Structure 1
Amino acid sequence: MDRLTEMEAFATVVDQGGFTDAAKKLGISKSAVSKHVSSLEQRLGARLLNRTTRRVSPTEIGLIFYDRARKVLNDAGEAEALVTAMQSAPSGLLRISVATDFGVNHISPILGEFLQTYPEISINMVLNNRFVELISEGFDMAIRIGELEDSSLRARKLTETTKRMIASPSYFQRYGRPMKIDDLNEHKLLHYSSQASGSVWKITAPSGEKRQVRTSGWLSVNDGQSLLNAAISGLGIAYLPSYLYHDAMAKGLVEEAIPDLPRETLGIYAVYPPGRFTQPKVRAFIDFLVEKFADKGPDRW
C-alpha cells in the first residue's frame, strides 16, 4: 500500500477529528480510510490514534508522527505544483524595477518583442533611481548595476558596462584637457545627484589607488541622459556608463577626459527573490534578457 496514501489518510483523520469527515474530505469510503490508517499503524508497530465512540484523537506518538507526516505531505504537494508550473506557459503580471537611464535606453525598446513572444504576460516596469526592496515593495525582479549589496537575493549577470569621464571637444578646446586626477579640481564637473556615494567620484589611479573627487560644478541632476546632454553641449565633464555615452562617443560628440586611467567595469544583473522555485514569468524574462545582451558590453552598445 502506498505510504503517502496512508500518511494522507491518517493526517486527514487528525485534521477532521474523525474517520467520517476524513472520508468526505478525501472522497473515499470510511472503511477505506480506516484500512489505510490500520495498515500504517501495523507497518509502524505503534498505535497512532485513540478511538472512542465519540471522538478520535492522536496518541502522543501519533501527534509527533502527524507533525512530520504533514510536512512530508505539504512538500509533496509543493513538488507536484512545481512540476505543473514548470510545464505551464509563463503568464501573469510581471513587476520589474529598472534604473531610469538603462530602462529607457535598453529595456523599453525590446519589451514589445518579449510581450509578443509571451502574450500571457503583462509587464509593469517602474523606472527610478533609488534602491527598491523587492519583496516588501511587491516587485518580481529588478535590474541592478554595480556591486550587489543584498546578498540574500538571487542574481544572474546580463552583461557589463564601463564608466569613463567624458566631455565634448568644444569643452576641451575652451578649458583644456585634464592630464591627471588632480587636474579635475580645476574643471567644471557635472554631478549626478542620486549617486549613493553623494557628490563624490570614485576613480582608480594608474597605480591602482582609489581616489575620490568632489563633483561640485555648474549642474547637478538625477538623470544620466541629462548629464550626457549637458556634456555634449559643452557644460562640463560627466562620469557616465558606456551604455549611455557609447553612441555619442562613436559620433565624435564626446571624448574621454583622461584616457590613460584604468576603466571601471560594472556588472549588470537581473536580481530576484530567493527560493527553490523561480516563477516561469520571471525565468522567461531573464532568459530573454540574457539572449538580448549576449553581444553587449562592456563597450559594445
Structure 2
Amino acid sequence: MDRLTEMEAFATVVDQGGFTDAARKMGISKSAVSKHVSSLEGRLGARLLNRTTRRVSPTEIGLAYYDRARRVLNDAGEADSLVTSMQGVPSGQLQVSVETDFGVNLLSPVIGGFLQEFPDINVNMELNNRYVELISEGFDLAIRIGEQEDNTLRTRKLAETEKCMVGAPSYFEKYGRPERIDDLNDHKLLHYSNESSAAVWKLTSPSGEQRQVRTAGWLSVNDGQSLLNAAVSGLGVAYLPSFIYADALEKGLVVKAIPDLPVECQGIYVVYPPGRYVQPKVRAFIDFLIRSFADKGPTEW
C-alpha cells in the first residue's frame, strides 16, 4: 500500500478518535481505513493503536509516530498548496521599498504598466533612503543602489548607473571649471542631506588613488532631482547618478565637472527574502522590472 496513505489513515484515526469518523473524514470505507492502519503496523512491526470496543487511542510508540507523521502530512499538504498557488494568477498586496530617486524618476513612470498587466495585485510602494529590514518590516522586496552587503538576501541585478559630478555651463563660465579634485575646494557644492556620508564625496583620481572631498556648500537637499534642478540653475556642482542627470546632460543643461576622472559605476538591484519558493506576485514584479530596465544604463536613461 501507499506509505503516505497509510500514514494519513493512522493520523486521521488518532485525530478523529476512531475508525468510523476517520473513514467519514477521508471519504473511504471503515474497512479500508482499518486495512491501511494494519498494513502500517505490519510494516513497522509495532502496535500503534490500542483498540477497545468503545475507543481507539495511540500507544506510546504510536503517539511518538503520530507527532512525526503529522508533520510529514502537513509538509505534503503545503507542497500541494505551493504548486497550486504557483500556477495561479498572481494576486494580493505587494509591499515594495524603493530608494527615493529611483522610485520617483524611473519606477513611478512604469508602475502603471505592471498594474494593468496584473490587475489582481495591489502595490504599496514606499519611497525612502533608509535601509529597511525586509522580513521584520513586512516588505516583499526592495530596490537598492550600490554594493549589496547583506548576502542573506536573494539579489537580481536590474541595470547599472554611473555617478558623476555635473554643473551648468553658466556656472562654470562664472566660477571656472575644476581640472583636479583639489580644485573642488574652491567651488559651490550641492549634496544630499539624508545620508550620513553625503558631506563627503568619495572620488577616484586619474592615477587610481581613492580621495575624499568634504563638501560644504550652498545647498543640501534630500532629493536627487532637486539637486539636479539646482545644478541646472547654476547654483553649483552636484554629484549624481546618471539616471538623474542623463537627460539634462544630453540637452546641454549640465556638463561633467571633471571629465577625466574615472567613472564610478553602481549596480541597481532588486533584493528579496531567501528561500526556494518565490511568491507569484513577487516573481511577476521582478520579471516586470527586468523587462522594463533591460536596455537601460549605465548612461542610457
Q: TM-score, normalised by structure 1?
A: 0.93
Moved more, 244-253 or 166-175: 166-175
State the 1:112 CA deviation: 1.7
Distance 1:196 1:29 in 2: 70
User: What runs of 5+ residues in structure 2 fail to find an aligned partner?
Assistant: none
Distance in 1, Cα, partners of 2:52 & 2:193: 74
Residue 231 of structure 2 is matched in structure 1 by 231
Displacement of 1:229: 0.5
- Residue type at the aligned position of 2:146: G
Aligned in 2, Cα 1:253/1:33: closer, same or farther, shift over 3 Å? same
Q: How does 1:62-141 map to 2 (within 5 A)?
A: 62-141=62-141
- 1:166-223 alpha-carbon deviations (Å, 9 max, x no partner): 1111111111111121221221111101124242111122232322111211001100
In the alignment, is the contact (CA less than 8 A) between 2:153 and 2:271 conserved in 1? yes
Alignment of 1:174-185 (within 5 A): 174-185=174-185
2:155 paired residue number? 155
The 1:127/1:52 distance shift into structure 2, 3 A limit, reads same
2 CA distance for matches of 1:129 and 1:270?
15
Residue of structure 2 equivalent to 1:31: 31
Match of 1:292 in 2: 292
| Distance in 2 of aligned mates of 1:179 and 1:20 | 90
1:189-268 aligned at under 5 Å gives the runs 189-268=189-268
Q: Distance in 2 between matches of 1:90 and 1:184?
A: 51
1:136 aligned counterpart, secondary structure: helix
Counterpart in the other structure of 2:13: 13
Measure how far apart 1:60 and its partner are: 3.9
Q: How big is the shift at 1:64?
A: 3.7
Q: CA deviation at 1:289?
A: 1.0
Provide, for residues 233-258 of structure 1, a one-character-per-residue CA deviation record: whole Å limited to 9, x for no partner.
Answer: 11111110000000000001111111
- Change beyond 3 A, Cα 1:195–1:43: same
Instruction: Single out whichever of 22-31 and 86-95 deviates more from structure 2.
Output: 22-31
The 10-residue stretch of structure 1 (10-19 or 214-223) with the greater mean CA deviation from structure 2: 10-19
SS at match of 1:248: helix
3-state SS of 1:179 partner = coil
Partner SS for 2:212: strand
Would you say how many aligned residue pairs link Structure 1 and Structure 2?
Answer: 301
- Between the aligned partners of 2:17 and 2:194, the Cα distance in structure 1 is 60
Contact kept? 2:190, 2:220, Cα under 8 Å: yes
Tell me the secondary structure at the aligned position of residue 132 of structure 1. Answer: coil
User: Residue deviations 1:37-60, cap 9 Å, x none?
Assistant: 111111222222333455544334
Contact 2:191/2:198 (CA < 8 Å) preserved in 1?
A: no
Structure 1's unaligned 5+ residue stretches are none
Alignment root-mean-square deviation, CA: 1.8
Task: Determine the C-alpha separation between the residues in 1 that align with 2:174 and 2:14.
Answer: 85
The residue type equivalent to 2:97 in the other structure is: S
